[in-house]
Amino acid sequence: MSQKNDKYTYRITWSEDDNEYVGLCAEFPSLSWLADTPEKALKGVRKLVADILLDMGINDEPIPEPIACKRYSGKFMVRVPPDVHRRLALQAAESGVSLNRIASSKLSQ
């Protein structure tokens, strides 16, 4: 995959421990790249991802789909302790809304 077609999710942050910027890729959480500028950190981690993708392709390994390209249904299951479930159900009833509406509101904060 060339860098111009790269649709992966990147983040650049400062590493106080390393005294450098670190480039990260959400789809490849084990990879990182240190550099003295944010621009170099991004360029480095993108090149690293491109190299890994090339290697994965050669070895017929499954390639992660970019998060930005995935389709989400808007549904997922969350397990909570019974007392939290009870408290949310009570809050929903007192507010006159569904439990789903209360949970969605709290998750989006």
77-98 confidence digits (pLDDT tens) = 999 999 999 999 999 999 999 9
Q: What is the pLDDT of residues 13-49, one digit of tens each?
A: 999 999 999 999 999 999 999 999 999 999 999 999 9
* Main-chain phi, psi angles of 62, to 5 degrees: -65, 135
Q: What Å distances lie between residue 23 and 32, 83, 93, CA to CA?
A: 5, 40, 45
The answer to whether the CB of 13 falls within 8 A of the CB of 34 is no
Q: Identify any residues that bridge with 20 across adjacent strands, giving them in sequence order.
A: 15
pLDDT of 4 over the 70 cut? no
Percentage of the chain with pLDDT > 90?
93
Q: What is the mean pLDDT of residues 58-81?
A: 93
In the chain the first and final C-alpha atoms are separated, in Å, by: 36
pTM of the model: 0.72
